[in-house]
Amino acid sequence: MSACVHDPDLFTNKGSILITGTRIGDRNVDIFIDETGTIRDIGEGVSKKCRSEAEHQISAEKTLAIPGLVNAHTHAAMTLLRGYADDMHLQQWLSEKIWPLEAHLTGEDVYWGTKLACLEMIRSGTVAFNDMYFFMEDAARAVDESGIRGVLCHGFITFGLAEKFESEVKATENLVSHIRGMNNPRITPAVGPHAPYTVPPEHLEWCGSYSKDEDIMLHIHLSETEQEVIDCKKAHGVTPAVLLDQCGCLSERTLAAHGCWLEDEDCRLLAERGCHVAHNPVSNMKLATGRAMPYPSLRSAGVNVALATDGCSSNNNLDLFEEMKVAAIGQKFFWKQDTLLPAEEALSMATSCGAKALGIPGGSIVVGQAADIVLVSLDHPSMVPLHNPVSNLVYSASGCQVSTVLCNGRVLMYEKEIPGETAILSGAADAAAGLLNRAAQNT
Amino acid sequence: MSACVHDPDLFTNKGSILITGTRIGDRNVDIFIDETGTIRDIGEGVSKKCRSEAEHQISAEKTLAIPGLVNAHTHAAMTLLRGYADDMHLQQWLSEKIWPLEAHLTGEDVYWGTKLACLEMIRSGTVAFNDMYFFMEDAARAVDESGIRGVLCHGFITFGLAEKFESEVKATENLVSHIRGMNNPRITPAVGPHAPYTVPPEHLEWCGSYSKDEDIMLHIHLSETEQEVIDCKKAHGVTPAVLLDQCGCLSERTLAAHGCWLEDEDCRLLAERGCHVAHNPVSNMKLATGRAMPYPSLRSAGVNVALATDGCSSNNNLDLFEEMKVAAIGQKFFWKQDTLLPAEEALSMATSCGAKALGIPGGSIVVGQAADIVLVSLDHPSMVPLHNPVSNLVYSASGCQVSTVLCNGRVLMYEKEIPGETAILSGAADAAAGLLNRAAQNT
């Protein structure tokens, strides 16, 4: 057994790990993880029992151990567009800034953007994410290298065009086959119809069937803006949620992002079908959606609500600690209920609810579970005093207090060190600069 | 001249300082600060000119230099109550949790709570704050030691009782005299009538006159909740802002905190009188005030709006980076205007507008100004790419990206190191534990 600080093999995915001296809530515990990455023992006496057996040791005094966070909806490679355009009218922002730049994206850009996103997520304690974008085989390569979990789908947009439908089906089928071929248990494919307003009912039907036939997640944007709900009712006579149901797109495999303008009956329908909703409060506020996701209705209907950052062009970071706080205070504010979405629920949203929504291991620290564990440093003024660990995590901490991250039993960050970080930062900065150059040359 | 990393005198307030290789916005600059703490030169060639003259040097490659942030309304020592009670109904929270604990506060508690607050503020780039609490001579001692700027007032609450009025006047006068006796240019006194609903008109009148006679700030809570506006109209026939005006409490020396329920005419009145407003979006959302401060009306009326965290029991941290972001996205969301409060304005709110409101130096990095300078590290995934530095500062960074802090030309944090931090963290933790013990013994 070797101490981590001089342990060259710590990051290599080999051997069992003993975490000593951390705490879970109010309990002081050690955690033993076996060589398969599974949590084998948790408790006060564990270090005595397992010290001789452990191949690596992590001294975790002055930390809180929490489950690795789960980002339930993002467009990871949009890190490259961080800060490129803000504070604009939505349509102008999309048509004059985001879409023209995205038209010049390459697979290599998406690879570097996703590398940067994974790095940022690891640094802020996120070990799994649900992604929708383009060039997803390149994204898969980045996720594979990063060590975290990803559910990946190609953003499927047809605008009703038969030709586009054919190419989107092909892109989706190719991605599913590619990811299955990777045979990496951390990476799973999904089908990603972008939204009911960009994919018409007949194409949504294909997505619904495909999700069922392949037993994969269906990831979609739902009722983010008021306008799309108005338009849907006008065109189809029903809300977007009901339209999705008619197209066979609502099931326990469905993850719907946003849901700001869901009606009470929509919430009940989503609950009945066993769907999951991803709440993106920062993005919703930044884009001035005008209504907060109806958490009270979703909660009372029994819908599983996960937490998400959305992409970096509308957030502009991937820090789920910030998102937990904004969710907890934003829901209280908008629905005028000072006890709504307490800290415990915000933490569950970002952990167990996210893992459930994505159908992945993790989300809790229990024996027999994969070791997706984040150590949060208590050695920071914002974590003192520690009257209530969960309150400090949600209302006071930021992702920067995360010191050590494990996913599937593998150490991805140790005391703020992530191997290869410098190369990723410069590779992503270069890719962003190249993208802007290409776009400038073409205008 | 000695390089900082081996420079034992760096934290001692002695001698001139040359900051090399940083950037302000898109410009690469060096900054030279003379031995009085005043910025003497800024530009690309400054290091060549001043290197021989500088007694200390700070290498600031891969950083952005911004003015030190200003926290325009807080109750600093409430750091001791961080996480003690959350997610409760407002009245129950106050009467069952906060007030009973505060009844056991001692001057020593306030000293340690304020020490912790100053530490947390330095760590997140804040160099000045406007404070209202109790045992303020102990708070002044903590601010003096911290090296940052403080405007301090005793929370003046009478509920109309003559005896209480007498003691509050005395506490205020004593504090003003005590602070003047300290003769520390970083610390200034203020008069702090808590709110129009806790201090009746005749006592407000004394505060207004005292502020004028002594030429000191008047710091007050204003129109935070809907209920207090309704009650004020019922009792006095006018809004709280108009009532304050009738009592001689509105002037260019007035800083009004919150203002969530200000009416359009109130905004015009505050503008006419030259008052300043402190926006506390996180606290307002957490306490479910139900309405965002009317920034559009305040802005068009021409009121100077500063930014603030409020106390740690309703936030629960003192990070103005987080507050900038929540202000920028919260205003957009609540007022349904996607271009409202752009990043540049949020940064001004937290810097120049705050300095103006508090009547202190700082708030900008210009020659002849006191060196209140914060270096923000660009070496973090959330700061890559750097399409727009101000956007990254407001929407993507957190206070943890602050690496080095100067106030009045003195280095308070250098590459994340703050002398004496460990002792402050343990002293504050002990004070918080002692406070809870005393409260438990008395119930």
Instruction: Report the binding-site residues of B.
Output: 73, 75, 102, 194, 221, 224, 310
At B443, is the pLDDT very low, low, confident or very high (cuts 50, 70, 90)?
A: low
Cβ pair A388:B288 closer than 8 A: no
Asked if B88 is an interface residue toward chain A (Cβ–Cβ < 8 A), one would say: yes
Q: How many CB atoms lie within 10 A of CB A302?
A: 12
Could you give the residue ranges of the DSSP H alpha helices within B124-225? 136-146, 162-182, 201-214
Query: Which one of B81, B116, B343 has the shortest CB-CB distance to A381?
Result: B116
Report in angstroms the alpha-carbon separations of B421 from A368, A384, B365, B416, B425: 40, 12, 27, 11, 6
What phi and psi values does residue B335 have, to the nearest 5 degrees?
-95, 5
- The ipTM (two decimal places) reads 0.97
Residue showing tokens 């929270």? B93
Task: Give the per-residue pLDDT at A51.
Answer: 85
Task: Give the per-residue pLDDT at A363.
Answer: 93
At B6, is the pLDDT very low, low, confident or very high (cuts 50, 70, 90)?
A: low
Q: pLDDT for B204-220, tens place per residue? A: 999 999 999 999 999 99
Question: A102 a known binding residue?
Answer: yes
- How many angstroms separate the CA of residue B331 from the nearest CA in chain A? 8
Query: Which one of B84, B315, B379 has the shortest CB-CB distance to A387?
Result: B84
Cβ pair A382:B119 closer than 8 A: no
Average pLDDT over residues B284-304: 97
Asked if B87 is an interface residue toward chain A (Cβ–Cβ < 8 A), one would say: yes
User: How many CA atoms lie within 13 Å of A162's alpha carbon, on the beta-carbon side?
Assistant: 0
Task: Give the per-residue pLDDT at A218.
Answer: 98
Q: Where are the beta strands (DSSP E) in A163-303?
A: 187-193, 217-222, 254-258, 276-279
- Averaged pLDDT score across all residues of chain A: 96
Residue type at B386 in one-letter notation: L
Q: pLDDT for B167-193, tens place per residue? A: 999 999 999 999 999 999 999 999 999
Cβ pair A84:B387 closer than 8 A: yes
CA dist A28 and A25 (Å) reads 8
CA dist B78 and B113 (Å) reads 6
Q: With a CB-CB cutoff of 8 Å, which residues 342-381 of chain B face chain A? A: 342-343, 379-381
Q: Where do the domains of chain A lie, and which CATH numbers do they carry?
A: 2-67+364-415 (2.30.40.10), 69-358 (3.20.20.140)
Q: pLDDT for B100-109, tens place per residue? A: 999 999 999 9
CA dist A155 and A346 (Å) reads 28
Average pLDDT over residues B282-297: 97
**Smallest Cα–Cα separation from B170: which of B200, B137, B139, B197?**
B137
Residues of chain A positioned with their CB less than 8 A from the CB of B289: 333
Q: With a CB-CB cutoff of 8 Å, which residues 281-320 of chain B face chain A? A: 282, 284-290, 312, 315-319
Strand partners, A28: A23
Q: pLDDT for B366-398, tens place per residue? A: 999 999 999 999 999 999 999 999 999 999 999
Residues of chain A positioned with their CB less than 8 A from the CB of B319: 382, 398
CA dist A148 and A359 (Å) reads 15
Asked if A6 is an interface residue toward chain B (Cβ–Cβ < 8 A), one would say: no
Q: With a CB-CB cutoff of 8 Å, which residues 221-240 of chain B face chain A? A: none
Task: Give the per-residue pLDDT at A4.
Answer: 45
Q: Where does residue B137 rank: exposed (0-12), middle (13-18), buried (19+ CB within 10 A)?
A: middle
Residues 6+ apart with CB under 8 A from A99: none
Residue type at B95 in one-letter notation: S
Cβ pair A387:B322 closer than 8 A: no
Asked if B382 is an interface residue toward chain A (Cβ–Cβ < 8 A), one would say: yes
Cβ pair B338:A88 closer than 8 A: yes
Residues of chain A positioned with their CB less than 8 A from the CB of B325: 282, 322
Residues 6+ apart with CB under 8 A from A227: none
At B84, is the pLDDT very low, low, confident or very high (cuts 50, 70, 90)?
A: very high
- How many angstroms separate the CA of residue B119 from the nearest CA in chain A? 7
- How many angstroms separate the CA of residue A48 from the nearest CA in chain B? 29
Report in angstroms the alpha-carbon separations of B431 from A250, B84, B294: 54, 14, 38
**Per-residue pLDDT for chain A (443 aa), expressed as one digit of tens each?**
444 455 768 898 779 999 999 999 999 999 999 999 999 999 998 988 888 899 999 999 999 999 999 999 999 999 999 999 999 998 899 899 999 999 999 999 999 999 999 999 999 999 999 999 999 999 999 999 999 999 999 999 999 999 999 999 999 999 999 999 999 999 999 999 999 999 999 999 999 999 999 999 999 999 999 999 999 999 999 999 999 999 999 999 999 999 999 999 999 999 999 999 999 999 999 999 999 999 999 999 999 999 999 999 999 999 999 999 999 999 999 999 999 999 999 999 999 999 999 999 989 999 999 999 999 999 999 999 999 999 999 999 999 999 999 999 999 999 999 999 999 999 999 999 999 999 999 86
Which contacts of A159-168 are long-range, i.e. CB under 8 A and separated by 24 or more positions?
A: A159/A198, A159/A200, A160/A200, A160/A203, A165/A203, A165/A206, A168/A203
Task: Give the per-residue pLDDT at B209.
Answer: 98
Residue B332's closest chain A neighbor by CA?
A: A288
Asked if A396 is an interface residue toward chain B (Cβ–Cβ < 8 A), one would say: yes
Question: A104 a known binding residue?
Answer: no
Q: How far is CA B234 from the centre of its chain?
A: 33
CA dist A61 and A129 (Å) reads 28
Residue showing tokens 């970002």? A350
Report in angstroms the alpha-carbon separations of A436 from A75, A431, B16, B393: 19, 9, 41, 21
Q: Would the pLDDT of B5 be above 60?
A: no
Residue showing tokens 């973090």? B380
Task: Give the per-residue pLDDT at A1.
Answer: 42
Asked if B8 is an interface residue toward chain A (Cβ–Cβ < 8 A), one would say: no
Q: How many CB pairs under 8 A join A and B?
A: 214
CA dist B258 and B399 (Å) reads 22
- How many angstroms separate the CA of residue A141 from the nearest CA in chain B? 19
Asked if B336 is an interface residue toward chain A (Cβ–Cβ < 8 A), one would say: yes
The residue of A88, A400, A422 whose CB has the most chain B CBs within 10 angstroms, and thus the best one to mutate to test that interface, is A400
Q: Answer for the pair A395, B286: CB distance below 8 angstroms, yes or no.
A: yes
Q: pLDDT for B306-340, tens place per residue? A: 999 999 999 999 999 999 999 999 999 999 999 99
Task: Give the per-residue pLDDT at A6.
Answer: 54
Residues of chain A positioned with their CB less than 8 A from the CB of B337: 288
Which bin fits B337, alpha (ψ -120 to 50), beta or left (φ > 0)?
beta
Strand partners, B406: B373, B411
Q: Answer for the pair A112, A153: CB distance below 8 angstroms, yes or no.
A: no
Strands B410-413 and B126-133: unpaired
Task: Give the per-residue pLDDT at B1.
Answer: 42
- Averaged pLDDT score across all residues of chain B: 96
Asked if A84 is an interface residue toward chain B (Cβ–Cβ < 8 A), one would say: yes
Task: Give the per-residue pLDDT at B201.
Answer: 98
Task: Give the per-residue pLDDT at B133.
Answer: 98
Secondary element (H or E) of residue A206: helix A201-214
Cβ pair A385:B286 closer than 8 A: no
Q: Is B37 helix (H, G, I), strand (E, B) or coil?
A: coil
Asked if B96 is an interface residue toward chain A (Cβ–Cβ < 8 A), one would say: no
Quote the Cα angle for B45-B51-B54, to 5°. Answer: 125
CA dist B395 and B393 (Å) reads 6
The residue of A87, A331, A383, A435 whose CB has the most chain B CBs within 10 angstroms, and thus the best one to mutate to test that interface, is A87
Residue showing tokens 């002037």? B251
Task: Give the per-residue pLDDT at B4.
Answer: 45
Q: pLDDT for B29-60, tens place per residue? A: 999 999 999 999 999 989 888 888 999 999 99
